[in-house]
Amino acid sequence: MHVVLIGVFDGVHRGHQALVQQAIARSEGGPVTIVTFNPHPAAILRPESAPLLLSGIDRRVKLLHAAGADHVRVIEFTPEFSALSPEQFVDQLIDSIVADVVDEHENPVPVDVIVAGVNFRFGQYAAGNIELLTQLGKERGFNVQVVELVTEEVRDEGTVTWSSSFVRERIAAGDLPGAARALGRPHRVEGTVVHGEKRGRELGFPTANVELSLPYAVPPDGVYAGWLLRGTPPHTTVLPAAISVGTNPQFNGTARTVEVYCLHDHTLDLYDESVGVEFVARIRGQAVFDSIDGLVQQMNDDVERARTILGAHPRA
**Active-site annotation, residues:** 259
First to last CA, the chain: 35
Instruction: Spell out a b/e string for 118-145, using b for 16 or more CB atoms within 10 Å of the CB, else e.
Output: eebbbbeeeebbbebbeebbeeeebebb
Contact 155, 42 (CB under 8 A): no
Nearest Cα to 171, choosing from 222, 114, 228? 222
> Dihedral angle at the C-alpha atoms of 284, 289, 295, 297, nearest 10 degrees?
-80
3-state DSSP: the chain helix, strand, coil percent, rounded to 5? Answer: 35, 30, 35
CA–CA distance, 313 with 279 (Å, rounded to integer): 12
Sheet holding 32-38, edge to edge: 71-76, 32-38, 3-6, 113-117, 143-147
Nearest Cα to 191, choosing from 229, 225, 227? 229
Radius of gyration of the chain (CA): 22
**Three-class SS of residue 313?**
coil
**Three-class SS of residue 3?**
strand
CA–CA distance, 6 with 14 (Å, rounded to integer): 16
